[in-house]
Each structure stands twice: as structure tokens, then as C-alpha cells.
Chains A and B, each alone.
Chain A
Amino acid sequence: MSDYLIFFTTILAAGVASGTPVLYATIGEVFSERAGVLNLGVEGMMLMGAVTAFRVSHVTGNPWLGLAMGILVGGLFSLLHALVSITLRGDQVVSGLALTFVGFGMSSVIGWPLIDVRDAPRLPAFDIPLLADIPVLGKIFFQHSVVVYIGFLLVPLAWFIINRTRPGLHMRAVGEYPAAADALGIHVDRLRYLYVLVGGLLAGMAGASLTLAITPLWIEGVTAGQGWIAVGLVIFAGWDPFRAAFGSYLFGAIRRLPLDLQGAPVLPWNLHLILRDPLLNYFTNMLPYLFTIAVLVIGSREAMRKKLGAPAALGTPYIRGERGV
């Protein structure tokens, strides 16, 4: 069975790595939605972050500068959504979708000269001393790129900010009952801008971590729907960073699973031949999508949503003097 221990360790380790961009995007969206703004433009912001990071890293030779610029551009891009949905009180669904399309197109244009290039300096990967030597866990968690480790730090930090700090309380108030928050003297619009920006910065980080570490090359549409997965995962996670991390890594592992099964280690009675059957792919390839759809279906039920803890004012613009939700 030790073959299987190695087998699953490998899949989980791959899941942690390839789930990391989704993790950033998901936590970013948690911030935005906790403040009451739904942003469906995650895919677009990720693409902008991805292309910017790759291009800056390629031109300057400094991946850290690339990362910084990728984060920044993701943030700037999200302000478009903030402008339309908060200041102009436009429809958040439409505005977010527009952001996705614009992001796809603009990133293609910006990425055009990069098609021949394909080699930008990458962010470093290293084993964490001592921790990397722990059997099984070391391989799963502590032998990765630096962006994975930053993700480990981000999760508790995000949780702490949301649940244990005054700004976090204000943010939640704005997302749950903006009229009350307003009455208490909290600047609803200003805070919503801030957290949409935070969401954008993290989506930019998600894209940057993709092109600088996880899928280190630029190709049109390199995110391949991961931004949408993040939107679904927010619901799965019940707007909680720790569950977002669990969901992201699980999602990463599920994506890797069908490939590894094709070389599954030997089992008694030739059971491994069933696992190795590439036809199983048609089923396993479906899993991430089934997973997301299931989450959406569950999340769309009113009672379930309350249970999951959806911010009550999510998706509704706040207009002072009008009745709240």
C-alpha cells in the first residue's frame, strides 16, 4: 500500500500547488462579497494580472516586480467594477461580466508580443527547512513555490481581519445591513470601494502566481475558467477563508486526479486496471464542474444560503434613504 501513499501524497501536493491561484482569487472574492459587492469579473482580473506579471517579469528580469505589477493591475482593473456598481449603482452582474470580457480581450492584446517569448523569470521555489522533511505532510505542503507559502499566510490573516478586527466588523456590517452601518457613521461606499479593490488585488495576485509559478507561460486565456471556479468556491466556502483554502486545494487535486489514475499503482485482483482505464477520464474530468454546479445549486436555495452565511446585502447597491434589503 505504500505505493498508494506516495500516489495520494503526489496528488495532494499537486493539488496544493495548482489550487493556489484559485485560492487567491477566492479569498479576494470573499472580501468583495463580504462587503456586499458581487464581482463576476474575477476571470478578467486574473488574466490582466497574469499577463502584466509575465510581461513585466520578462522585460525587467525581476519576477518580484512582475508580481507587484500584476497585483496592482488586477486592483486597478477592479476599480472599473467599483465605479459602475457602487458609484453609478449599475447592475453588478452585468458590470462584472463586462469586466471578464474586457479582461480577456485586453490581456490578449497586451500578451501579443509574449507569444514568441515564453520564458520569463519565475518566482523561486524552495523547500521549507525541517518542515519539508516531515513524512507525507512535508511533501504535500512544504516543497513548493513561494506563492504557495504566501497563500498559507494569507488564509489565517484574511480570517483574522474578517472576524477579529474592527475594519473587518465594518466590512461585514456594510455587506449585511448597509443602512445600519451608514447610520453608525461608516462610509458604506468608501468601504465597498476598498474591498472591491482588495478583491482585485488578490485576483491580480492569482493571475500573477499562475504565470510566474504554477503555469509559467503566457497563452491567451491561460486561466481557463479558474476565475469562475473561484466565484463558485466562495459559496462552497461559506465566505470563510479556511474553507476557501480547503476547497481550492481540493479543486486542484481533483483536476490532477484523472491524469494520475492512468498510472495508478497495482492493486490486488487487478482492480488497478479499472482505475487506469482512460475512459474513467470522462467521468473524472467532469468532477470539478459537477462540484461547482452542485455548490451553486445548493447555494441558490434561500434557506441554504442563510445557513452558509451569505452576506444579506450581496448584490444590491446601497442608496442612502432607500429601504434596505
Chain B
Amino acid sequence: MLRTSSISRPTKLEDLLSSKEIARLDPLDLASRRVFFGKLKGERRSKKRGHSVEFADHRPYVTGDDLRHIDWNIFGRLDKLFLKLFLEEEDLSLHVVLDASASSDCGEPNKYLFMQRCAMALGYVGLVNLNRVACTIMSGIDADAAGRGEQSAAREAKPASPIRALRDLRGRRRVHDLARFICATMPGGTLSFRAAAERIALSRRGKGVMIIFSDFFFKDGYEDGLRILSGHGYDLILVQVLSPQELEPPIKGDLRLKDIEDADTAEVTISAPLLKRYQANLAAYCQKLREFALRRDMALLTVRSDTPVDSLVADQLRRLGVLK
């Protein structure tokens, strides 16, 4: 929750992933709950839609879904719209999205550092398994300004260039390129998630798995952005990263809480009922996000920023079906 007091920014791959973690990631490969067309010949079986015999699941239709996936038989019988879900296909595209707003640059351990490391781990897995890997960083500050270290000026500036992206990486050789890209971006500024989502959707190429790392604390709401992204054929995985301080605030006394992004203030006198109320609100917020994600066929994972990266990637994402 609080601004990280002193942080050492990663500069290269070794800062993001240790060799031990890399060794643990090596046997993993990407998976998708959905079947996509491959762009290139890959190592996977092709299971194109319509030809697939392995039916996976049904889910309720929501606005924006591809009408071609509606199971008309069911509609005929039940008069309700359901989508048919199918199994994976061969050539998988992995798109990792990071939220680099100022609110991510908080917590102990730092949430953004955690996101960087997770993105690197997933990118590594995707690259070594010959998948196409893209990485997008949604930042509130101008990329050039961030490069010059003018964070304070940039934070107050309007988000001129909401996203920075690195696309079409493939193969183990591009691992260091990915690491450099991830390390180069400094977090800060106010992020308009909706605008960023639109930019991502516009610049999208092909389909695949999109994993968004964020705390999803957006003042203008996360719903629009997610709706935009979900409508474009991506298998969306949301990873909500919360710092331990956000879950259990270690603060007391009479405080004027200042939002790190928009300098909004809230005057509070910390008391047991207030903390209880805060935690109830946080739980409700997370639950609402979860329900939203479920209705949109997205997967949501809420993690603490002090979770070990290899444990998250190798265990929790694997259990979710993102990796195998």
C-alpha cells in the first residue's frame, strides 16, 4: 500500500530471475483453455474450431462474444445463449501486460518488481517453448521521460503514450531482449486503463493467451478496459497483485491518506472498526472483480507480492491451466 521506501530496480535478466528459478521454469510450457489458430507451424496439434472433436465446456453468452461460437443446438432447446468452448491449438501467442502506474510502485515487496519478475518468468517459458511472446507495459508516463528519470514531472503529466510494447519475440535468443524491455520501463503516473486497453486491442495481432498483471485499482474502473480486451479473442488471465500492506495496513493514528497517483486525500483516524471496514471493502472489491472475470470467461488470480515467483508460475498458474 505504502510507497516502497528504497528499491533497487532490476537492470538485466539475472536481476529478475535467479538461475534456480529458471531451472524450475524450464520444464513448463504454455497452455490455453481455448483453441486458437496458429500463425506458424508449431509443435502443436491443430484443433481448429468446427473440426474439433474434443468439446471442452459451455459458458453463458455475454455481450461482445463471437456469435459464431454460440451453441445453437442448446439455444434451440433451451432458448438460452451458450458458447461452446474448445481445447487448445498449436501455435500459441503469449501476451504479457504489466500495469506500470504509480500505484504499482508500492508495497513491500514492491508490486511492480513482482510483476516484472512474473512477466519475465512467463516470457521465458513462452520463448523457450517457441511460442510467440509479446509484452506490453501500460505506463502513465511518457517513455522518454521515464528513460530520462523525470518521474515527478511525468507523474503529473497527462498520459501521452499509455503503452509500450515489444512484439513477436520467439525463441530462446530473445530472452535478453525481453528482459531489457521489462527492466527499461519505470513505473509512475496515472493510468487510464480503458485507454490503455483500447491501444492494446488496436495493436493486437493474432490470438492467444493474454496475462494482465495489475492491482486493478483504477479510479475509472476496470470493467471497460477488460471488456475491450475480452472481445478480441484472447484467453485472458488476470493476476491481481496486492502488497501485504494493502491486505493488512500497518498504519495507526490520525492520518491524511494521499493517493500516490492523483494526489486525492482521505482523512482517517485509524481504528479497529475502520480497519475492519477497509478489509471488508477490499474483499468485496476483489470478489466483484472475480465475478466480473468469471462472467467474461477470464481467469483471475489474486496474489500477494511476497509470493515466490517460481511458486506462482509453477504452481498457481499451472493449476489455473495457463502452464502445463
Q: Do A and B bind each other?
A: no
